[in-house]
Amino acid sequence: MVNIYTKIFITIILFFISFNLKANSNYFKFNYGISSNNIEASAASDTASGAITTDEDDTGYMLSGGYMIGDNWGVDLMYYDMGDSTITVTKDDILKVDNANFSVETAGDITRNVTGFGIGFITGSNNENKLLSLDYYLKLGIHSWDEGGSTTLMDDDTGFKSKYYNEGIGAYGGIGISMNLYESTSLDLAYDIIGVSSNVDFDNNSSLLSAGLRFKF
């Protein structure tokens, strides 16, 4: 089933495209790559077996589109899925999350997926679609993020979920390089960092190192 955030994002993009279709300054971009998601959980000092392991890496993707208001700056809209992070636990381990301890009753994996959408400013160079020309760009904005997942492995599943699965509004930023391949089609290489906390210092974050295609129209 399509995520409600995806539907909202696609609706906004289609409206944006239809409104600015004659401007010839719109773009759409799809990137796919390696993601990393911070895990804000650890084994408590009195954990039974010490067998808790974490895996913060996965694959993710980002859809983005926007409108260049000037030659070198514009507005960027994006939707992202940063993939899953995983905690592997064994029975009687004690997991610490946000200064609270939770005992593991059943061995298994605890997964969490980070998705969201945002809006921001983008700026960079503009070589006007010259063949094999390189352009760089920077972007910065705000986004709504959601950490999805569930577990039935803990002694207090409800309490654990309230601590480990969150949502909110934070900051995001990114840098990238694009190479024009043919007329309005470019190869895109990007690094994006997504803050998943209520402040703007990116102390908890997800990141995506990706490649994709960018289309101007």
pLDDT in tens, 81-101: 999 999 888 888 888 887 888
Percent of the chain whose predicted confidence (pLDDT) is above 70: 82
33-48 in b/e form (b: 16+ CB < 10 A) is bebbbbbbbebbeebe
C-alpha closest to that of 62 among 180, 216, 189, 202: 189
Tell me the C-alpha distance between 144 and 105, whole Å: 33
Bridge partner residues of 146 (DSSP)? 115, 167
84-122 in b/e form (b: 16+ CB < 10 A) is bbbbebbeebbbbbeeeebbbbeeeebbbbbbbbbbbeb
pLDDT of residue 212: 97
Under 8 Å between Cβ of 37 and 83: yes
The number of distinct structural domains making up the chain is: 1
| 3-state secondary structure string across 36-48 | EECCCCEECCCCC
pLDDT of residue 64: 94
For the domain that residue 195 is a member of, what is the CATH number? 2.40.160.20
Bridge partner residues of 74 (DSSP)? 68, 122
Confidence class of residue 189 from pLDDT cuts 50, 70 and 90?
very high
Radius of gyration of the chain (CA): 20
Under 8 Å between Cβ of 79 and 136: no
C-alpha closest to that of 63 among 106, 21, 32, 25: 32
pLDDT of residue 21: 47
pTM over 0.85: no
Q: What is the pLDDT of residues 39-55, one digit of tens each?
A: 877 777 655 555 678 89
Question: What domain range includes position 43?
Answer: 4-216
